[in-house]
Amino acid sequence: MTHKSINTCDRELRRIDAEVFQPRAIASVSEWARANIVVGSWSSRTGSYEPDPWTIQPMDTLGIVGPRRIIIVAPAGGGKSTIGEVFVSWAIENAPGLTAWYTPTEKTTKEFAETRLMRFLSACPSLSRWFDSMPRHARRNEALHFPHMSLLALPANVSNAQSKHLRHLVMDETHEYAPGMVSMLENRTREYRHNCTKLLISTGSEEGDQTDVAWHDGTKQRWQIVCPICGHVHVPKWENVRWDPEAKREGIWDKRRVAESTHYTCPSCSAEIAANSANAIKINSISRGAGYTEPAADAVPRTWSFHWNCITSGFDNLGANAVDFINAMASARRGGVELMKDFTQKLLAEAWADKPPEISIAKPTNGYKLGEPVPDECLRLMAVDCQQTHFWAVVRSYSRTTSRPLAVARLESRESVREFQIANRVADNGVLIDSGHFTDSVYTACCRYGWVATKGESVAGGYVIEKDGVKLRAPCRVSESRPAPQFIEPGSVQPSCDLLLVSEELTSQVLDRCRSGKLDSWSVADDMPESYTEQMNARRRIMKRNTRDGSPEWEWRTFGKCGEHLWDCERVLLAAAYEAGVYDFEH
């Protein structure tokens, strides 16, 4: 460091000290921004800076005294990162302290530092004096060392999650961070718990992930637009975005016509508000009544969350968004949900909830109904799934070549399970009841009625057994020890019961193929109840990318809230039919 630069730094430091320790009225962040920021080439708009109406309250919340955690979930390109940039500029002058700006990867960090951060700061005249006094070595794209504080741009990864203590933490695009990374980074502000800033910025993420959870921890404030005709103030919904229904000819959308005719319909007065820039200003006008919803009463203290969607920030571009939506719908109908996920997250800025794509359960083969057994029936089995207050049961009828469900039911008591068994003429040792959760009472029932207990096990690839001198992989095996309950009920037919251990993985894989209609040995009736279809669809195998090397990994997941009890029953039935020697386990 040269003598000259030391002197300059010194002077600046003394001046800052004088500034910081003098009591003065601190302008709100948005007021400060209007006075100090000159919009440069980094934005489509140039000139003196006027914050978008929906960015003002989040900005000003960032400037309040004391610790604050702010979560902004908003569309791509809707001005959300600008809030962070304005805040950082403000903080350099008004609340200095080590500040880090995280983005998802090395690449995005580099891009951000080169194309946005530097230009943003140097376009701020009141900050540019720092650059003049800054020695060259203190000024790199990804690290700016001011005399009184440093500003770093870093990728959000483990090696950058531990080191110095931060006062201000900006986490941009958190929907792309590895699980757990947000709280890891937030730990870096512990030393500043009295005045730190944690700012999360993201598009819509996935239901239940760290961004979504953080947003729900906060005040959950949604931007409301105002109808220019009737003054109705409301959170804008995509279902109110309409276009000319005549734009569809012979089943094909005329996308140009769609884009041109797209408008917003007021849910109160039904006025059609043309999607243009004049109306964009009117619907977002704070003086007309636009603004955020009230903060939620259940927010975690000092946690604020804000949301807006593309109807707010891209009103003059709704036509293009409508075309995106139509494309996403068309793709979804062909089974691809990626475009709809993109639309939901990037434009509506809503968390994506994985919904199972429509799948067809094995085509009903002979048009038979429940209650009609297979011709040449040689076996009848019933599987029972136990819940806290009720049971689910499936009865299947088997021949040497195929099987059919005979009955499906939700049953309210153990006695009604027994009645259901008798009504469907299932042999006592053909009843398989899951002992995973209510183990002792299931053993008791098995001893009372001569039923077989089952237990799912995580045995990838199944059990290795030897059959006629050949080693095979089986979906199940009978436990060598026979379990007994603590108490034997009067009238019990046996003192201990059979226990069938079932490989969850192998039976899931095979049932997945059954479900898709690929195995002749398994079919469903024409009139399966809705609960059956729902539960059979709920269990899905999804591909995940390994976070280290990106290799595909498969995982079973349950979607929706209906549960997977009947799926579990069908799995057990597959295993039991194999055990009974009815048919080979095709896989």
| Interface residues toward Zn ion, by CB under 5 A | 227, 229-230, 232, 266, 268-269, 271
Half-sphere exposure of 583 (CA within 13 A, CB side): 19
Q: What is the dihedral sign for C-alpha 353, 354, 360, 361?
A: negative
Say if residues 394 and 566 touch (Cβ distance below 8 Å).
yes
Q: In 10 A of CB 110, how many CB atoms?
A: 15
Q: Which residues, at least 6 apart from 122, have a Cβ–Cβ distance to it below 8 Å?
A: 40, 128, 131
CA distance 141 to 78: 25
Q: Residue 271 or residue 323: which is nearer to Zn ion going by CB? A: 271
CA distance 495 to 488: 7
At its nearest, how many Å lie between Zn ion and the CB of residue 311? 14
Q: Residue 225 or residue 445: which is nearer to Zn ion going by CB? A: 225
The DSSP code for 544 is: E
Q: Residue 269 or residue 353: which is nearer to Zn ion going by CB? A: 269
Q: In 10 A of CB 547, how many CB atoms?
A: 9
Classify 223 as helix, strand or coil.
strand
Q: Residue 270 or residue 413: which is nearer to Zn ion going by CB? A: 270
Residue with tokens 């020697």, as numbered in its chain? 581
At its nearest, how many Å lie between Zn ion and the CB of residue 352? 30
At its nearest, how many Å lie between Zn ion and the CB of residue 66? 39
CA angle 509, 514, 519 (to 5 degrees): 115
Q: Residue 312 or residue 535: which is nearer to Zn ion going by CB? A: 312
H or E, element range at 44: none
Q: Residue 148 or residue 288: which is nearer to Zn ion going by CB? A: 288
Q: Residue 271 or residue 501: which is nearer to Zn ion going by CB? A: 271
Q: Residue 232 or residue 455: which is nearer to Zn ion going by CB? A: 232
At its nearest, how many Å lie between Zn ion and the CB of residue 236? 12
Tokens of 66: 């004391």
Say if residues 91 and 123 touch (Cβ distance below 8 Å).
no
CA distance 524 to 430: 20
Residue with tokens 């059609």, as numbered in its chain? 272
Tokens of 97: 């302290």
Taken as a whole, the chain contains a residue count of 587
Closest CA to 522 of 439, 420, 402, 394: 402
Q: Residue 75 or residue 236: which is nearer to Zn ion going by CB? A: 236
Q: Residue 264 or residue 578: which is nearer to Zn ion going by CB? A: 264
Q: Are strands 168-172 and 99-103 parallel, antiparallel or unpaired?
A: parallel
Q: Which residues, at least 6 apart from 225, have a Cβ–Cβ distance to it below 8 Å?
A: 233, 234, 235, 236, 283, 284, 290, 311, 312
| Residue 543 vs residues 40, 513, 556: alpha-carbon distances, Å | 43, 17, 9
CA distance 244 to 319: 11
At its nearest, how many Å lie between Zn ion and the CB of residue 265? 9
Tokens of 475: 């979906």
Half-sphere exposure of 361 (CA within 13 A, CB side): 22
Q: Residue 195 or residue 240: which is nearer to Zn ion going by CB? A: 240
Q: Residue 26 or residue 271: which is nearer to Zn ion going by CB? A: 271
At its nearest, how many Å lie between Zn ion and the CB of residue 319? 21
Q: What is the dihedral sign for C-alpha 57, 58, 64, 69?
A: positive
Classify 186 as helix, strand or coil.
helix
Q: Residue 269 or residue 478: which is nearer to Zn ion going by CB? A: 269
CA angle 440, 444, 447 (to 5 degrees): 135
Tokens of 246: 């005549």
